[in-house]
A = this chain, B = another copy of it.
Amino acid sequence: MIDSADRVILGSMVRPPAVDDVRRMPHVGSLSDSDAARFASELMVRGYEPREVIVVEGQPARGFYFIRSGKARIYRMAADGREQTFRIVLEGDTFGEVPVFDGGPSPTTVEAMERCEIILVPSESFHRLLWSHPEVAAALLSHFAKRLRAFTELIEQISLQTVPSRLARYLYQLAREEGQETPQGVLVPRSITQQDLASLLGSVREVISRSLRVMEEDGIVEVRRKDILIRDLGALRRML
């Protein structure tokens, strides 16, 4: 339950959502000022502490979510405790749309990886918008299509590629997206632990640790405290 009582009890309430937040949200960027203001008034904000659970698999959903700040992990856990992470969501991302549109329960669990401010977009508010704003529907369709494509990739990776290959792909994409060129190679910040990386790649920490070690011995990467230096991007590419 997310309501004003909770906000106070949890002591984690921040300023209520404003039109500013709506402007930052995907899908609804093109609303008129008055529509945006009305929409904003229907949103709810809540803060979450690190490791706090935001959505529980199997529970009914009241809407979808927008991350105003922070980082969260969307995953599923097996009976034996192993976890598969589907996606890590950052500031500006939305999640939890599926139950809003197929009417089922939440397919996954979502947990804050750090302190988060999260806006709940109630299903009814959004549905109302959809029927009068075809551009919102179009944006959302495009969003869903991208997610399906990403899932297609994930399935292929897990099912058909080895762990070293998946790891190489991860590092390769990381280098392209947030890498910084240096004389020694591409430098990327280390934003997640090996544990989280393992879960994202559908493996376990130990295997990831070993794979990284092998890459290090081959002179392809250099794993350090706060960052990873990718010495040989071409070698990574060849491992895909």
Known: A141-B141, A144-B145, A144-B148. A156 touches B76 (CB 8 A): yes
Total interface residues on A, CB under 8 Å, equals 42
* Interface contact A151-B149, CB-CB below 8 Å: no
State the majority secondary structure of interface residues on A. helix
Q: Which of B84, B107, B141, B160 contacts A140 (CB 8 A)?
A: B141
Q: Are B160 and A98 in contact (CB under 8 A)?
A: no
**Bound complex: CA A136 to CA B102 (Å):** 14
Q: Is the CB of A160 within 8 A of B84?
A: yes
The answer for the CA separation of A75 and B141 in the assembled complex, in Å, is 22
* Chain B residue, CB-CB nearest to A240: B79
Q: Count identical subunits in the complex.
A: 2
**Is A48's beta carbon under 8 Å from chain B?**
no
When chains A and B are docked, how far (Å) is the Cα of A158 from the Cα of B158? 7
A102 and B155 within 8 A (CB)? no
Does A234 make an interface contact (CB < 8 A)?
A: no
Q: Does A97 contact B (CB under 8 A)?
A: yes
Query: Which residue of the partner chain B has the closest CB to A133?
Result: B134
Q: Does A39 contact B (CB under 8 A)?
A: no
A130 close to B (CB within 8 Å)? yes
User: Of the candidates B82, B132, B144, which one forms a contact with A141 in the assembled complex, judged by CB atoms under 8 Å apart?
Assistant: B144
* Inter-chain contacts of A146 with B (CB < 8 A): 102
Q: Which of A104-158 contact B (CB under 8 A)?
A: 104, 107-108, 130-132, 134, 137-138, 140-142, 144-149, 151-156, 158
| 14 A-B pairs with C-beta separation under 8 A | A76-B155, A86-B155, A98-B145, A98-B149, A101-B142, A101-B145, A102-B149, A107-B153, A130-B134, A130-B138, A132-B134, A137-B141, A155-B158, A158-B202
